[in-house]
Amino acid sequence: MAVITVLGAGMMGSALCVPLVDRGHEVRLVGTHLDGAIIESLQAGHFHPTMKLDLPAAIRPYPAEALPAAMEGAELVALGVSSAGIDWATSQLAPFARPGLPIVMITKGLELREGRLGVLPDRVQRGLPEAVRDTVFPAAIAGPCIAGELARRVPTCVVVTGRDAGTLARLAEALRGPYYHVFPCADVIGAEVSAALKNAYAMGVAFGVGLHEKAGGVAGSVAMHNWESAVFAQAIREMMRVTALLGGDPLTVTGLPGVGDLDVTMNGGRTGRFGRWLGLGLGVAASVARMEGATLECLEILAVMREGLAAHEARGELRPGELPLLRQMMAVALDDAPVAMPFERFFAEGAG
């Protein structure tokens, strides 16, 4: 068994610790500078105040300033921060990186670098010291996983993806357990594009729930499921188009990182709740307020994609009419446009 340090004590980073300690690893959970209250609660009685759940006593909580102690003897590092915190987390980890140290992240997002969209494992690798950069290949976990369910040991299937087969094999063996099923995936572009974009598309599918309620409807077998299914199908087409655009395998979108994660995020994730508020007509500001401080990576990825699409269009790699659903979600979530769907532009050849 290994000594594993997890940086980031939010819901997903903390939830990941549960299958790790159940696997027999020594797990050290380090809070960020924003996680002080969580770490204090865990130290006092193992209770995670955000998940409202007692975590296993074997998880050892550390405040941010104790990272050096938590990294002593660490054989594997997991980054549990949001995309907004990935550069900070990389800078904190960099002094402790050593050749061959496995790093795995649960962060979801894409970056725009020199006018091109890219994946976050590559960004983390660039942030490591030059002396270790050629021997450390950061990987990422992607797939359908609600933190509160994983922490309650609900059977969960995910992939671990990265650019080095040896690292993936080591990580899959270290991470998997009786209820946490981890499968290696060599297509880092496809897996990471899916993991990032599903947050935005889940918001779009969930518009239908809010629109149904706004019209006086209640949840049931007759609602706006036809509407939601059409948006879901277009979302998969567009995720496949973006994956191909960036050089990944579009078929990866049809597996756990894409279809699987979109379904779980739409039905059980915070992004689905946010989309419902927008569908009800509350507007962006009021909908954000209703989320009570929850991280909304859908807004971050939509902002990155808006710039990225413009850059790819300027080079002639993407036509202006492609990805109509993604563009409509940008208008709703970034510009406060009315919730509507351009169904007449869906499913057309060359429309994504």
CA 337 – CA 341 distance, rounded (Å): 11
Write out the binding residues.
8-13, 147, 270
Question: Do the Cβ atoms of 258 and 194 come closer than 8 Å?
Answer: yes
Task: Find the catalytic residue in 52, 108, 198, 214.
Answer: 198
The first and second tokens of residue 11, run together, are 């819901």
Check if 214 is active-site: no
Contacts of 97 (CB under 8 A, 6+ apart): 103, 128, 129, 132, 136
The first and second tokens of residue 229, run together, are 């299914």
Q: Which of 100, 175, 103 is nearest to 138 (CA)?
A: 103
CA 90 – CA 26 distance, rounded (Å): 22
Cα–chain-centroid distance for residue 69? 28
DSSP state of 162: -
Instruction: State the Cα torsion 189-99-103-158 to the nearest 10°.
Output: 60
Cα–chain-centroid distance for residue 252? 16
Distances (CA, A) of 54 to 38, 66, 239: 12, 22, 37
Distances (CA, A) of 10 to 14, 53, 78, 235: 6, 13, 13, 28
Question: Do the Cβ atoms of 257 and 185 come closer than 8 Å?
Answer: yes
Write out the binding residues for NAD(+).
8-13, 147, 270
Q: Write out the catalytic residue numbers.
A: 198
